[in-house]
Amino acid sequence: MSNYQEQPTGTPEIGSPGIRWKLFLMMVLQFFIWGAWLPLIFAYLPGINFTPWQTSLILNAFPIAAIVGMFFSNQFADRNFAAEKFLAFSHLVGGLAILGCGFTRSFWPFFILMLVHCLLYVPTISITNSIAFANMKDPAKEFGLVRMGGTIGWILAAWPFTFIFVNWAKVKEANPSGFVNWLGTVLGSPLEGQALMDATRWTFIVAGIASILLAIYSLGLPHTPPKKSSGPQESFAWLEALSLLKHPFVLVLWLVTFIDAFVHNCYFNWTGGFLAAPRDQGGVGIPGNWVMPVMSVGQIAEILTMFVLGATLKNLGWRWTMIVGILGHALRFLVYALFPDQQNLIIIVQILHGICYAFFFATVYIFVDAYFPKDMRSSAQGLFNVMILGVGALVANSICPWLFANVFTQGDGAQKLTNYRNMFLFPSAVAALAAIALAVFFHPPRDVNTDLTGQSAPTH
């Protein structure tokens, strides 16, 4: 169904290249913000002496906001405010909040600022989608290209820190001649130890600047008026979606989604610190200014994997495509556990991140769109998002810092040593069990045109 509507004179036509370009840049900035501060915060918080409990509380600001956002963005924000104005307000206030995180090391100010940022940022993920869909003629064809801007934004967020996390005093002392020698010296002079930890505050400053830029940019986006509720029953669509968990295959997928989201967030909790840890301490020994670019390899792979997702679904089907996605986690963590000294292999295995995301999470979204009744698809997506962005992350962020500090790390002070082998075998085993559960218990109806009410669904 087309979203086309007549435009005022002088306004670019919906679906025009100019509009798509604006939407693409909106997505670039939207996910640049998140990608700037997320990868390194897991090592930064304990590095500035926040306790495991304090670290967990700060990390859980985002999943808590995701759970709140299911109701706020779907049931309130997009029905009461013009989307572009809500986006501008949220990114202005949220940007100032995350900017403030770069200037404090006190727990309560940091936590409150992060909570404010997350409560305002998470709804904008849905709002940017709403703006995009409202300004496309053919969302099925156009949205993938627009949304790819988000993945590119996440990748771009990693690269400024290759130059921010540089020991400039060492570069000045070397006094290289010529641009090539200068660049080689810069890239080979990373900050280390406490200096690197101190510089990590720039991740929040960069995120804040990007958020404020998006707030300004939002005012130039196409006007997207608030949606009006079509009836009182629409306010309870999420309850109707929740009732669909009575179907065994939906319940199984929902629970496996929680497990996979938990494992996925173990990756973010532990990978950055593991990559940066010196080899004599069991880590990979990646220079501090290269950790985020190395992790961004996964997002590059995600773009490529999305191109083959359709063919993979056609050949493997829903269940086996998702199983491959889950086993990607198991294999990646197994490589971490068994070959931490193989730096090149660790870098290459980041490619699996794209398979983990596209073959499971993206496939779940497509599956929900195919199987859920049309009038509750949005809320059904929200139901699974509660697991993907909310509960799975909440549990991982609650126990991963504690496991790292109290179970897998032994000793005190300079004698501290982390057992990375056992630490990564844990999520690898959990992922393998989730794949087995999906293989054994997930049996969706064969006919995709039969909806969950048991009636034949109309084809489109």
What are the tens digits of pLDDT across the range 187-198? Answer: 888 888 889 889
Q: Which residues of the chain have pLDDT under 70?
A: 1-16, 70-79, 139-140, 227-238, 240-241, 374-379, 413-414, 447-460
The per-residue pLDDT for 7 is 46
Domains plus CATH for the chain?
15-165+200-228 (1.20.1250.20), 232-445 (1.20.1250.20)
This prediction's pTM: 0.81
Other beta carbons within 10 angstroms of residue 319's beta carbon come to 17
Give the pLDDT confidence score for residue 377 in this predicted structure: 67
Q: b or e along 154-184 (b: 16 or more beta carbons within 10 Å of the residue's beta carbon)?
A: bbbbbeebbebbbbeeebeebeeeeeeeeee
Q: Hey, what are 22's tokens?
A: 């604006």
Q: 161 near 292, Cβ under 8 Å?
A: yes
Nearest to 342 by CA among 301, 285, 398: 285
367-386 CB burial, b ≥16 within 10 A, e <16: bbeebbbeebbbbbbbbbbb
**Crossing angle for the helix pair 420-441 and 392-406, to the nearest 10 degrees:** 150
Give me the pLDDT at residue 5, please.
43
Residues 380-414: tens digit of each pLDDT: 777 888 899 889 999 999 999 999 999 999 877 66
Distance in angstroms (rounded) separating the CA atoms of residues 224 and 398: 38
- Sign of dihedral through CA atoms 390, 33, 368, 434? negative
Backbone φ and ψ of 222, nearest 5°: -60, 140
At residue 2, the pLDDT reads: 38
